[in-house]
Structure 1
Amino acid sequence: MRVSIVGAGLGGLALAQGLRGAGIEAAVFERDPSIAARFQGYRLVLNPAGFQSVRDCLPPRWHPLLDEIVMDASAEQLVLDPQLNQIGRLGGGRTGIVVDRQVLRHLLLTGLDVHTDAALTGYDVKADGMVRARFARRDPVTADLLVGADGVASAVRGVLAPRTTPVDTGVRFVIGRTPLTGEFADLSKAYGSKITGDGVSLLLGAMRFRTPPKQAAERLAPDVSLPDIGDYVRWAMILPPNGSLEDATAQDAVLSRMRGWHPQLHALIEQADPDNTTLLSIRVVKPGERWAPGPVTLLGDAIHATSPTGGNGANTALRDADLLRRHLIEADQGRRNLLSAVGDYERQMFAYGTEAVRSSLEQLPAFAPEAQLS
C-alpha cells in the first residue's frame, strides 16, 4: 500500500510515522518552501488520549525520549485582574501533558520522506481506484490513498468537500513566547488562568522541559535531532472581535492594551522574541456532509478545525492519525478492503470531530464574548 499525505503538521506526520512503523509506504507533501519556513513552536496541552495517540504512532525506541521532553501540568483556571488579583474562576481545574509543538514536530519528522514546496493543485481518481495527486512545482504522484492533513485552508478538502468551508469567528489573537527566567516566578498562579481587563484577555502557559530537548535526544535517541531551546512562557492576548493591529507590531499592539497592568506582565511581553510573535485569527471548520466513499480522506484541521479555547485541536488531529493508522494497517494486512477501512475511520472521525468543534465554540465566549458563532 502507498499513502500520500498532504500537510506536514502534527497529524499528518504522526500518521506517516505510524504507517512507516508498520511497513506501509507513506510520503508527505508540504506546500511550505521548507520545513522551517514558519515558526511553529508554542506549547500544547495534550490529554491522556492525545498523548497516547502520538505515542502509539512513534517507534517504541523513542518513547523514553518522548517522556523526557514533556511535562505534567495542572492549572486552577482562575480569572485574574490586571494586577493579578483573583476575581473568579473559569471552571474546574485542568490537567494534561504539556509538549512544545516545534520539538514534537521535529521528533515526528525524523526519518520521514517529506517533500517541501509541494502545493497541491488537484487530484484525479483513476479507473483502477488509485488516486493521482497533482502539484504546482513537482511531478504528479499516484497512491492507493490520498490524505488531506493540510489545515484550515485544505486544498484537498477544496476538491473533496467544496461546500465545507472555514467559518471566521471574528476573533483575533496575538501569540508569543518569552524565556522563562526567575524574574517571572511571581506569575506562576497566572499560568493556565485568564487575565482580563480593558476589553482583552491575556492567557499564560509555562513550558518547562524535564530535560532540554537537544540534550535529551543526544542521550536517549542519537538518531533524532531536536531544537536547542529552553523553558519559556507562551502567552496569547485575545483581542476584541475583528480586532486589528493597525500600523503597530504585534508586540506593540499587546503592550498598548496593557497600560496600568502589573509590571511583570509588561516585562513578559517586552522580553518576548519579536520574530515569534504574530497575529492570528480564530477560524473553525465544521464537518458537513459526508463525501462519496473513495481513496481520498481528510484529517485534523482540514475537516474539524476547532477554536483554541477548547484545547482539543491537536488532540483530535492526533486521534485521527492513530485511528486511521490502525484501520490502514488492517487493510494492508488483508483483514478488510481499503474503502471499508477508510469509511469506518470517517464515520468515527466525523462524530468526535463534530463534537470537538462544538465544544470549542461553546467555550469561546468565556474569552471573547462578542465572537460570531452563527
Structure 2
Amino acid sequence: MRVSVAGAGLGGLCLAQGLRQAGIEAEVYERDPAITARFQGYRLVLNPAGFAALQGCLPPRWHPLLDAIVGDAYGERLVLDPRLNKIGELGPGRTGTVVDRHVLRHLLLTGLTVHTGAALTGYDVLDDGRVEARFADRDPAVADLLVGADGIGSRVRATLSPRTTPIDTGVRFVIGRTPLTEQFAGLSRAFGSKIAGDGVSLLLGAMRFRTPPKQAAEELAPEVTLPDVRDYVRWAMILPPAGSAGPSPQEAVLSKMDGWHPDLRALVEQSDPDNSTLLSIRVVEPGERWAPGPVTLLGDAIHATSPTGGNGANTALRDADLLRRCLADGRQDLLGAVGDYERQMFEYGAEAVRHSLDALPAFVPQRESV
C-alpha cells in the first residue's frame, strides 16, 4: 500500500510516522517552499489521549526522547485584572503534557520523505481505484490513498466535501512568545489564567522543557536533530472584532495595555516581533458524509476547532493514530479501513468542534461600560 499525505503539519507527519512503523509506504507533500518557511513554534497542551496517540505513531526507541522534551501543564485557572489581582476563576484546570510545536514537528520529520513546494491543486480517482494527486509545479503522484491533512483551507476537502467550509467566528487574537527569564517567572500565577482588560483578554502559558531539546536529542537519539529552543512564555491576546488595527501585531497588543502591570507589558515588549502574529478564529464542522473511497481527511481539514477548546492538536493526533491502526489492521480492505476511520473520526471530531465553541465565550473579552 502507498499513501500520499497532503500537508506537513503535526497530524500529517504523525500519520506518516505511524504508517512507516507499520511498513506502509507514505510520502508527504507540503505546499510551503521549505520546512522552515513559516514559524510554527507555539506551545501546545496534549491531553492523555493525544499524548498516547502521538506515542503510538512514534518508534518506541524515541519515547524516552519525547518524555525528555516535554513539560507538565499546570495553572490555577484564575481570572485576573490587568494588575494581576484575582477577580474570578475559570474552572477546573486541565491536566496534560506541554509540548513545543516547532520541536515536535522536527521530531516528526525525522526519517520521512517530505516534498516541499508541492502545492496540491486537485486530484482524480483513476479507473483502477487509485488516486492521482495533482500539483502546481511538480509531477502528479499516484497512491492507493490520499489523505488531506492540509489544514483549514484544505484543497482536498474542496473537492471531496465542497459544502464543508470554514466558519469565521469573528474573534481575532495576537499570539507571540518571549524567553522565560527570572523576571517573567514571577508571573507564574498568571500562567493558565485569563487576564481580563477593557475589551481584551490576555492568556499566558509557560513552556518549560524537562531537558533542552537539542541536548536531549544528542544524548538519547543521535539520529534526530532538534532545534536549540529554551524555555519561554506563550502569550495570546484576544481582541474585539474591530480592535486589531495597528502598525504591527505586537504594537496592537501594547496599545491595549495602558495601565497594566509592568511585567505584562514587558513580556510583550521583549517578545520577538517576527513571531507575533494576528490570527482569526475559524472552525470547520464535519457535515455531510461522503462515500468511503481512496481519499480522506484528517485534522483541521475536516474538524478545525477554536484554540480556546485546547483540543485541535489532540484531535489531529488522534486521527493519525486511528487511521494508521485501521490501515494496518489487515482484517479489511482499504475502503473498509477508511470507512471505519471516518465513522469514528466524524463523531469525535464534531464533538471537539462543539466543545471548542462552547468554551470560546469564556475567553472573548467584554468591553467595560462607560
Q: Same fold (TM over 0.5)?
A: yes
Q: C-alpha separation between the residues in 2 aligned to 1:197 and 1:189?
A: 17
Structure 1 CA distance, aligned partners of 2:291 and 2:19?
24
The equivalences for 1:322-333 within 5 A come to 322-330=321-329, 333=330
- Tell me which residue corresponds to 1:359: 355
Q: In structure 1, what is the Cα distance between the partners aligned to 2:166 and 2:273?
A: 29
Other structure's SS at 1:98 match: strand
Task: Tell me which residue corresponds to 1:123.
Answer: 123
- List structure 1 segments (4+ residues) > 4 angstroms apart after TM superposition: none
1:306 is matched by which residue type in structure 2?
T
Q: CA shift at 1:369, angstroms?
A: 5.8
8 Å CA contact retained: 1:293, 1:343: yes
Aligned residue in 2 for 1:150: 150
Give the corresponding residue for 1:93: 93
Structure 1 position 345 matched with structure 2 position 341: yes
**Whole-angstrom CA distance in 1 between matches of 2:71 and 2:292:** 40
Q: Distance in 2 between matches of 1:78 and 1:311?
A: 17
Tell me, yes or no, if the aligned pair for 2:238 and 2:365 is still in contact at 8 Å: no
* CA distance in 2 between partners of 1:51 and 1:35 (Å): 23
Aligned length: 366
**2:31–2:118 Cα contact (<8 Å) kept:** yes
TM-superposed CA distance for 1:242, in Å, is: 4.6
Q: Does 1:112 align with 2:108?
A: no
5 Å-filtered alignment, 1:264-283, equals: 264-283=263-282
Once residues 175 and 369 of structure 1 are traced to their aligned partners in structure 2, the CA distance between those partners, rounded to angstroms, is: 15
**Aligned partners of 1:268, 1:241: CA distance in 2, in Å?**
24
Partner of 1:163: 163
1:22-101 to 2 correspondences below 5 Å: 22-101=22-101
Kept after mapping to 2: 8 A contact 1:120/1:133: yes
- Paired amino acid for 1:226: L
Q: Deviations over 1:62-90 (max 9, x none)?
A: 00000000011222210000000000011
RMSD: 0.9
Q: 2:95 aligns to what SS in structure 1?
A: strand
Equivalent position amino acid for 2:115 in 1: H
Distance, in Å, in 2 between the alignment partners of 1:297 and 1:75 is 37
1:256 maps to a residue whose letter is: S
- Give the drift of 1:241: 2.3
Q: Note the residue ranges of structure 1 that are not aligned, 5 or more in a row.
A: none
Identity of aligned residues (%): 78
Q: Which runs of 5+ in 2 are unaligned?
A: none
Kindly indicate whether the alpha-carbon contact (under 8 Å) linking 2:196 and 2:365 is maintained by their aligned counterparts in 1: no
When normalised by structure 1's length, the TM-score is 0.97
Cα separation, 1, equivalents of 2:94 and 2:355: 15
Residue equivalent to 2:314: 315
Q: Secondary structure at the match of 1:128?
A: coil
Asked if 1 retains the 8 angstrom alpha-carbon contact of 2:199 and 2:365, the reply is: no
1:139-181 deviation digits (Å, cap 9, x = unpaired): 0010000000000000000000000000000111000000000
CA distance in 2 between counterparts of 1:36 and 1:292 reads: 36
Any conservation in 2 of the 1:301–1:313 contact (CA below 8 Å)? yes
The one-character-per-residue Cα deviations of 1:327-371 (angstroms, maximum 9, x if unpaired) are 0102xx3x210000000100000000000000000010111168x
